[in-house]
Amino acid sequence: MTGPLQMEEKSEEDHRALLNQGEENELLRCIQVQKIRYVWDYLEKRFQKVGLLEDSNSCYDIHHTFGLGLTSEEQEIRRLVCGPNAIEVEIQPIWKLLVKQVLNPFYVFQAFTLTLWLSQGYIEYSVAIIILTIISIVLSVYDLRQQSVKLHNLVEDHNKVRVTILVKDKGLQELESRLLVPGDTLILPGKLSLPCDAVLIDGSCVVNEGMLTGESIPVTKTPLPETENTMPWKCHSLEDYRKHVLFCGTEVIQVKPSGQGPIRAVVLQTGYNTAKGDLVRSILYPRPLNFKLYSDAFKFIVFLACLGVVGFFYALGVYMYHEVSPRDTATMALILLTVTVPPVLPAALTIGIVYAQKRLKKKKIFCISPQRINMCGQINLVCFDKTGTLTEDGLDLWGTVPTANNCFQKVHSFASGKALPWGPLCAAMASCHSLILLDGTIQGDPLDLKMFESTAWKMEDCDVNSYKFGMSDSNTIIKPGPEASRSPVEAIAILRQFPFSSSLQRMSVIAQLAGEDHFRVYMKGAPEMVARFCRPETVPKNFPQELRNYTVQGFRVIALAHKALKLGKFSDVERLAREKVESELTLLGLLIMENRLKKETKPVLKELSEARIRTVMITGDNLQTAITVAKNSEMISPSSQVIIVEASEPEEHIPASVTWQLVENQEMGPGKKILVNGTIFARMSPGQKSSLVEEFQKLNYYVGMCGDGANDCGQLQLFGNYQYLMQDIAITLMVCLTMSSTHAYPKLAPYRPAGQLLSPPLLLSVFLNSCFTCIVQICAFLHVKQQPWYCEVYRDSECFLANQSNFSSNVSLERNWTGNATLVPGSILSFESTTLWPITTINCITVAFIFSKGKPFRKPIYTNYIFSFLLISALGLTIFILFSDFQDIYHGMEDAILQNREFWLLIKNEFGFNSKSQYRIWQKKLAEDSTWPPINRTDYAGDGKNGFYINKGYENHELVSKEKLKSGDQIKEQHFWTRL
């Protein structure tokens, strides 16, 4: 495209870019969806996302097409099409927040209800609800405003960063970060807060990714390899591509140029397409909460509305039959419609969450999505990581097991206090790591730090005058410390790193010993993985047995290997492919590390087990180590049978396979059978961990990962103002505001509360309570008619339908003690309402007491002092008014109902109720399967004709090229463990 590109702003959703090419104008349409811009592709006839560099670019394309920057014209076109590199969060005006709140459908209905009630003189309760609603809206608007301001301030600095870029026709140019576009070449001079996502193409750097991961451990980034193949750059090798990517919002804390030029990175994504942009968008547009409880709550409100409609037409018929005026008929029918949906419903639905948030906050637990707190009660499976979660964060070095002449040697114990003797193993431990020297302090992964400290060597900045390595002055130098064993080597220079990757389960470095003219490769990683890259003759024959000997004791085992690397010159080091470096190695030995359990692990797992919450361990560590940790933590019983399932990827003509092996006392299974029975999943990459949780959810598990009443309207038209007022405010409202303040029971129950309002136990509770209420009221209604002093309603009374012109008329009842009663004209009271009020009010209080059940999910009711006081006071006041012959009280009740589990289980057993949860179905199938579990069997994958299910999350960002698989270069191994 040539010529200037102009943007014509039409609206937030519809932008148009106009390209002038002589006399012809080509219209380019852009839409913006949740902050992401899309452009219409006239060739493919669909919208394409813009603001990011295409993933189809190869390593060669990125280096040679974008490595020297864009031209000024290309930059201008991209700026107009992609938009600014800015993450802008608008501070919502207060008036707009108010409008959004007030236009909520429930508030609109509430406004209609209160207007109708006020017009009929029901002032006190209406005013109370109005005050409560105003307070609720004000607090909600205030909270939303504060969140908007905080988020705005959080991202504002992102748009004010000054950066230096390389422009093809202008050289180096300094500009604001908001002008960056995908394809720009970014120059990294030193410490910098990254304003975009970029891929490193020259030099290396150390970044702090705490903003994204929460980990304060510095991460080393290496340049993207410069290869000539056409494979997409993310699929270039098995290595995790993130090791080359600098993410927006992270901090560059150290840079290491690889040659004479500056450190360069190509901009990949800008604005809301970046990692930080995704994080902000997840806050602005949270994922919809798909929880049965909320859908059931909506259905319940719809049911109440339908009930109100039925009552509306019934009231119309009754009033029209008695020839009441159309105005009064419509008014009374609408009033009956409005009372079916309680005005205090929002408070009743949210007050429990508010109390839960306050209690969690006291425990220093914060929730960014309060609605999800209710889901915590449904959790029936908890997944744990091992290292740093079940075990201590730090590692203690136990010893090393060197190898020589294809045999394991005597163990060197660090507990003896003796320094590690010099040798290739010592050199590997001193140099094969990703530690950095920052402000005079060595920082990095705790495992690397512990390993390096055990050698008693020290790290310092490179001094090219002291050490003639023929390298740049940015490389790391390792020297023997005062307490190190005597070494003939004066220093070691770390020239290049291939960082550790969870998917690869290893890392390696290219180093050079002072005085040598050749280079050395050192590797460390998972023992099974490292052994694959070693020459078979250097791996002891008893390697599996020796490894198992330590892993079954719960030790964490790391293997180390090395080889000599002969190259012509130092510049060749940067061009070497990882596959060439990591081959034909010599095994040096094993590093044994002790990872102790946290003191909290056993009690927590025991409590979860007693609560019948299934626990699962998902770890990237060795299988046997994980099993031992699980036994020591009592996640599994030491007497449990165990079957190990070993899954392998296809290798050349050998299809993928699953091998079953009975191991001492343990067991396992494929597909859904594995998920239903598995307890330990080992050698799992981060992507596989996420996908595993997703698969658990598909089986209807509620998964936690550790690495939160109805109104009675039977005699509605016979009750008076102050009867409504007392029940609505003194009982119903107070119950709603205090009932949920009962704290959670300190011990977990061995079953979950109902996850949906329409579940049979809850419906049964409501049904039985309704039946009880109806029986009591009918008996009271019939009983009062049998009394000798009972008389029909006086025809001039407001209780007589033809005389009801004012809903708010005063109430009076004169009664003498001779058994005669006189109804004063203008009253709205009847003997029926006088009798039903105390019955329904006491029933309301009783129901509140009964449904405030304590164990097993909440503490006893007497621990909720305010609620208990209110119930006792309400009951005492009701009895006092009853015997003092005061005015009647309107019956209103809205409550949260707990299931009677014992009764419900009895009904389920009697009627043969079967769970619809997928994991329950599979558990039942396995219990009836006589061939389960298979032992000493290998199952191979078919030819694919029948199709196989693959969770895309397992392959996300970990794509393996066919060439790699054919070469048999990297065959990943996954282990699973299960308990029957």
**Residues 211-228 pLDDT 10s:** 776 566 788 888 888 877
Residue with the bigger pLDDT between 892 and 615: it is 615
Q: Is 385 a catalytic residue?
A: yes
pLDDT tops 50 at residue 813 = no
Q: Which residues contact 64 (CB under 8 A, 6 or more apart)?
A: none
- The pLDDT-based confidence of 351 (bands split at 50, 70, 90) is low
**What's the mean pLDDT in 666-685?**
68
pLDDT tops 70 at residue 311 = yes
Residue with the bigger pLDDT between 324 and 833: it is 324
**What's the mean pLDDT in 181-205?**
88
Q: Helix 326-338 to helix 105-119 angle, to the nearest 10 degrees? A: 140
Q: Which residues contact 468 (CB under 8 A, 6 or more apart)?
A: 514
Highest mean pLDDT among 14-18, 50-54, 336-340, 723-727: 50-54
Residue with the bigger pLDDT between 537 and 289: it is 537
Q: What is the pLDDT of residue 237?
A: 59
Scanning 666-744, the segments in alpha helix (DSSP H) are 671-677, 686-698, 721-725, 734-738
- The pLDDT-based confidence of 479 (bands split at 50, 70, 90) is confident
pLDDT tops 90 at residue 716 = no
Please give the DSSP secondary-structure letter assigned to residue 614: E
Q: What is the pLDDT of residue 1?
A: 37
**What's the mean pLDDT in 491-507?**
83
Q: What is the CA radius of gyration of the chain?
A: 37
**What's the mean pLDDT in 102-115?**
78
Q: What is the pLDDT of residue 524?
A: 93
pLDDT tops 70 at residue 844 = yes
- The pLDDT-based confidence of 900 (bands split at 50, 70, 90) is very low
Q: Give tens-digit pLDDT for 933-951.
A: 776 666 665 544 444 444 5
- The pLDDT-based confidence of 778 (bands split at 50, 70, 90) is confident
Residue with the bigger pLDDT between 76 and 363: it is 76
pLDDT tops 90 at residue 968 = no
pLDDT tops 90 at residue 561 = yes
**What's the mean pLDDT in 806-812?**
37
Q: What is the pLDDT of residue 777?
A: 77
C-alpha closest to that of 454 among 412, 373, 397: 397
CA distances from 656 to 646, 932, 944 (A): 11, 21, 11
Q: What is the pLDDT of residue 941?
A: 57
Cβ atoms within 10 Å of 278's Cβ, excluding its own = 17
C-alpha closest to that of 875 among 852, 836, 846: 846
Output phi, psi for 531, to 5 deg.
-60, -30
What is the location of CATH 2.70.150.10 in the chain?
A: 57-84+159-283
**What's the mean pLDDT in 44-53?**
84
C-alpha closest to that of 976 among 472, 468, 618: 618
Residue with the bigger pLDDT between 802 and 148: it is 148
- The pLDDT-based confidence of 522 (bands split at 50, 70, 90) is very high
Q: Which residues of 219-256 are buried (b: 16+ CB within 10 A; e: fewer)?
A: bbbbbbbebeeebbbbbbbbbbbbbbbbbbbbebbbbb
Domain 396-594 has CATH 3.40.50.300: no
Q: What is the pLDDT of residue 597?
A: 82
Q: What is the pLDDT of residue 266?
A: 92
Q: What is the pLDDT of residue 815?
A: 38
Q: What is the pLDDT of residue 355?
A: 67
What is the location of CATH 3.40.1110.10 in the chain?
A: 396-594
The pTM of the full predicted model, rounded to 2 decimals, is: 0.61
For 696, the token pair is 């658990």
- CA 540, distance to chain mean position in Å, is 44
Highest mean pLDDT among 20-29, 491-500, 702-711: 491-500
pLDDT tops 60 at residue 662 = no
Portion of the chain with pLDDT greater than 70, in percent: 66
Q: Please tell me whether the peptide bond between 933 and the residue prior to it is cis, using omega within 30 degrees of 0.
A: yes
Q: What is the pLDDT of residue 349?
A: 58
pLDDT tops 50 at residue 436 = yes
**What's the mean pLDDT in 849-859?**
72
Lowest mean pLDDT among 51-60, 80-89, 788-797: 788-797
Lowest mean pLDDT among 12-26, 133-147, 774-788: 12-26
pLDDT tops 60 at residue 15 = no
Output phi, psi for 780, to 5 deg.
-65, -40
Contact predicate 711/113, CB 8 Å = no
Coil vs helix vs strand at 17: strand
Residue with the bigger pLDDT between 743 and 171: it is 171
Tokens 């961990």 — which residue?
Answer: 689
Contact predicate 518/470, CB 8 Å = no
**What's the mean pLDDT in 851-863?**
73
**What's the mean pLDDT in 691-711?**
69
- CA 969, distance to chain mean position in Å, is 35
pLDDT tops 60 at residue 955 = no
Give the active site residue among 184, 202, 240, 385: 385
Residue with the bigger pLDDT between 650 and 320: it is 320
pLDDT tops 70 at residue 799 = no
Point out which residues pair with 441 in neighbouring strands. 438
Coil vs helix vs strand at 820: coil
CA distance linking residue 694 with residue 708, whole number of Å: 19
pLDDT tops 80 at residue 381 = yes
Could you tell me the fold of the domain covering 57-84+159-283?
A: 2.70.150
**What's the mean pLDDT in 844-868?**
74
Strands 162-167 and 185-188: antiparallel
Contact predicate 591/524, CB 8 Å = yes
CA distance linking residue 883 with residue 816, whole number of Å: 15
User: Across all residues in the chain, what is the average pLDDT?
Assistant: 72
- Amino acid type, 367: C
- The pLDDT-based confidence of 893 (bands split at 50, 70, 90) is very low
**What's the mean pLDDT in 827-849?**
66
Lowest mean pLDDT among 173-177, 557-561, 693-697, 760-764: 760-764
CA distance linking residue 916 with residue 700, whole number of Å: 9
